[in-house]
Amino acid sequence: MTQVCVASGLLVQIYQSKGMKFLLCLLVATTLCVAAALAKSECEKQRKAALKAKEKWIPECTESGEFKPLQCKEDGSECMCVRPDGTHIKEFSSKIKSCGCHAHLDRVHAKSGRMVGVYKPQCEEDGTYKRTQCNGSIGSCWCVDEKGQKTNKTDC
């Protein structure tokens, strides 16, 4: 017995007996055909087109069909940071190795714009957090780890 997803999104079980194949459609409402859904995502469409055209950049997608934050060219020479919908946060650069800080800063800008007093993370060119983070509005600085979380260290 084999289970496959068909284009309509149904989960189909294929049975084979004495050389004959039988199809059974599973109409259970809670059964999802994830593979069919992924094939329709924008990331998967762009990935398929890039593979076909043998592009230097092949989009990487999450299991849910969104773009992974860090997108790199096939040879690894340059990477960029993108939002889940694929729009660019940072363009291709040989310096980008991570998107944690750039994505964090992008979310802050989207929520608060240029509001005064809002903490905006400071990023290294490679996309990591600067070890010392400051909020000039309150005149305070602190040390952070690689995920941007405040640490107890006083010497960054």
Give 36-68 pLDDT, tens digit per residue: 443 579 999 999 999 999 999 999 999 999 999
Residue 132 falls inside a structural domain: yes
Residue 28 falls inside a structural domain: no
**Cβ-proximal residues to 81 (8 Å cutoff; 6+ apart), any chain:** 69, 70, 71, 88, 89, 90, 96, 99, 102, 103, 106, 127
Residue 126 falls inside a structural domain: yes
For position 25, what pLDDT does the model report? 52
- Average pLDDT over the chain reads 84
For position 142, what pLDDT does the model report? 97
Residue 16 falls inside a structural domain: no
Give residue 15's pLDDT band: very low, low, confident or very high (50, 70, 90).
Answer: low
Examine the pLDDT at 29 and tell me if it is beyond 50.
no
Q: Which domain holds residue 49?
A: 42-96
76 plus 117 within the same structural domain? no
At residue 143's C-alpha, the angle toward residues 79 and 149, to 5°, is 60
Residue 29 falls inside a structural domain: no
* Structural domain count, the chain: 2
Length of the chain: 156
Q: Please state the pTM of the whole predicted model.
A: 0.71
Backbone φ and ψ of 106, nearest 5°: -60, -40
